[in-house]
Chains A and B, each alone.
Chain A
Amino acid sequence: MIAEESLIKELKQLETQAKAFEVLVNTYKERLYWHIRRIVLNHDDTDDVLQNTFIKVYKNINGFKGESKLYSWMYRIATNEALTFLKQKSKKLGIGNSELQEKMVSNLQADVYFEGDEIQLKLQKAIATLPEKQKLVFNMKYYQEMKYEEISEILNTSVGGLKASYHLAVKKVESYLKGG
């Protein structure tokens, strides 16, 4: 783990900025990629959102007050970017959010970067039926194995509320998978 405080300092100074930013991207690119990918599902869209996330981080680092961890701040930017991207997409296509989710999952079957079997595809269909918050919590807890305390800082929700959301999400996904 990199020492966060010194990295932030380096990011704010012009002469060390470029090198520090490279370290930042290399440290967080994979984690943020998978976080975004599980929201937008498609690789090319993920790439766009991920690059925009890092550019926002770069442009706004001077405004980062250090009230939360750098890592949570970046996750928050990535989450917002991904959700805004989906909103814009549904507006452009003139369809509602649930319709968009269905479309995204059905596109997975033809996606060269999705190699899931029948069960994994069904799991994506089940996740697509969850409300936004439950979906985020499920992905962060189940796939990324994040601690509730970390998710709480990113999503600005109490640990108790997150546990309830996760529990509900797992129950819904399981009953969807059992349902045939």
Chain B
Amino acid sequence: MNKKNNKEGFNTPEGYFEDFSDRLMDRISNSESDQKETLLPKSDGFRVPDGYFDSLNQGIQDKINKDTPKVIALHRRRKFYYYAAAAVAAIVLLTIGIRTNSSVEPTFEGLAKTEIEEYFEYNDLGLSTYEIAEVIPVDELEISDIMDDEIEEENIIDYLDDSIENIDELNLTDYEY
């Protein structure tokens, strides 16, 4: 390669190829930063109220203290009444519980559809569409699970009749798939 270039009489400055890639990368990064400066502003225009950061610490401390409930010691005599009341309540509940034990346990079928829908509406499951798709196998899904009304075969034929000029074109042969 060099030989040929020498024959043609062309020459390059000493060390030209050694630092070529460095100079190229410098130029690319410079042109990128130039572009960024002209297109994207570095400051975003947001500001905070004066003294906000100075008072933040106190605000958080207040909230933490408010969240932590204070422990109040129970008076001895009061304690006795509480225990007595609890014992009476327990006996009453047990008696009622034994009598009405025949009540039906809730079942999945027994839940109203609206209750289930409401649960999903107001509780964030934290699953994306893709994650849901991963756990539900495709072969267990019916078209009616996704669409409200099932498409009648008749309607499909009508649609094809209206929108396809030559219905024979739909009869694809194997190699056309």
CB distance from A135 to the nearest CB of B (A): 13
In the complex, what distance in Å separates the CA atom of A34 from the CA atom of B59?
Answer: 18
Is the beta-carbon distance between A25 and B39 smaller than 8 angstroms? no
Is the beta-carbon distance between A30 and B39 smaller than 8 angstroms? no
Q: Which of B40, B56, B60, B63 meets A142, CB within 8 Å?
A: B40
By a CB distance below 8 angstroms, the chain B residues around A54 are 60
Is the beta-carbon distance between B41 and A113 smaller than 8 angstroms? no
In the complex, what distance in Å separates the CA atom of A38 from the CA atom of B42?
Answer: 13
Q: Does A120 contact B (CB under 8 A)?
A: yes
By a CB distance below 8 angstroms, the chain B residues around A38 are 44, 46
By a CB distance below 8 angstroms, the chain A residues around B42 are 143
Contact with A along B39-51 (1 / 0, CB 8 A): 1111111111100
Name A's interface SS: helix
Q: Does A45 contact B (CB under 8 A)?
A: no
Is the beta-carbon distance between B124 and A120 smaller than 8 angstroms? no
Is the beta-carbon distance between A116 and B40 smaller than 8 angstroms? no
By a CB distance below 8 angstroms, the chain A residues around B41 are 119-120, 123
Is the beta-carbon distance between A84 and B124 smaller than 8 angstroms? yes
In the complex, what distance in Å separates the CA atom of A84 from the CA atom of B123?
Answer: 12
In the complex, what distance in Å separates the CA atom of A115 from the CA atom of B49?
Answer: 12
CB distance from B125 to the nearest CB of A (A): 11
Interface residue count on the A side (C-beta < 8 Å) = 36
Chain B: interface residue count, which band?
A: 20 to 34
Contact with A along B109-140 (1 / 0, CB 8 A): 00000000000000010000000000000000
Is the beta-carbon distance between A43 and B57 smaller than 8 angstroms? no
By a CB distance below 8 angstroms, the chain A residues around B48 are 33, 43, 113
In the complex, what distance in Å separates the CA atom of A38 from the CA atom of B67?
Answer: 28
By a CB distance below 8 angstroms, the chain B residues around A34 are 46
Is the beta-carbon distance between B67 and A116 smaller than 8 angstroms? no
CB distance from A47 to the nearest CB of B (A): 8
A window 143-175: CB within 8 A of B: 143, 170, 173-174
By a CB distance below 8 angstroms, the chain A residues around B177 are none
Is the beta-carbon distance between B44 and A113 smaller than 8 angstroms? no
Q: Does B64 contact A (CB under 8 A)?
A: yes
Is the beta-carbon distance between A120 and B57 smaller than 8 angstroms? no
Nearest residue in A to B121 (C-beta to C-beta)? A91
Q: Does B53 contact A (CB under 8 A)?
A: yes
Is the beta-carbon distance between B57 and A26 smaller than 8 angstroms? yes
Nearest residue in B to A120 (C-beta to C-beta)? B45
By a CB distance below 8 angstroms, the chain B residues around A174 are 35, 39-40
Residues of B near any A CB (own CB < 8 A) = 35, 39-49, 52-53, 56-57, 59-60, 63-64, 67, 124
Contacts A55-B64, A113-B46 known; 9 new A-B pairs at CB < 8 A: A51-B56, A51-B59, A55-B60, A114-B47, A116-B45, A116-B46, A120-B44, A170-B40, A174-B35
A-B contact pairs, 8 of them (CB 8 A): A29-B53, A47-B52, A113-B46, A115-B45, A117-B45, A143-B42, A174-B35, A174-B39
Those 9 A-B pairs whose CB atoms lie nearest each other, nearest first = A116-B45, A120-B45, A54-B60, A25-B57, A115-B45, A113-B47, A174-B39, A120-B41, A51-B60
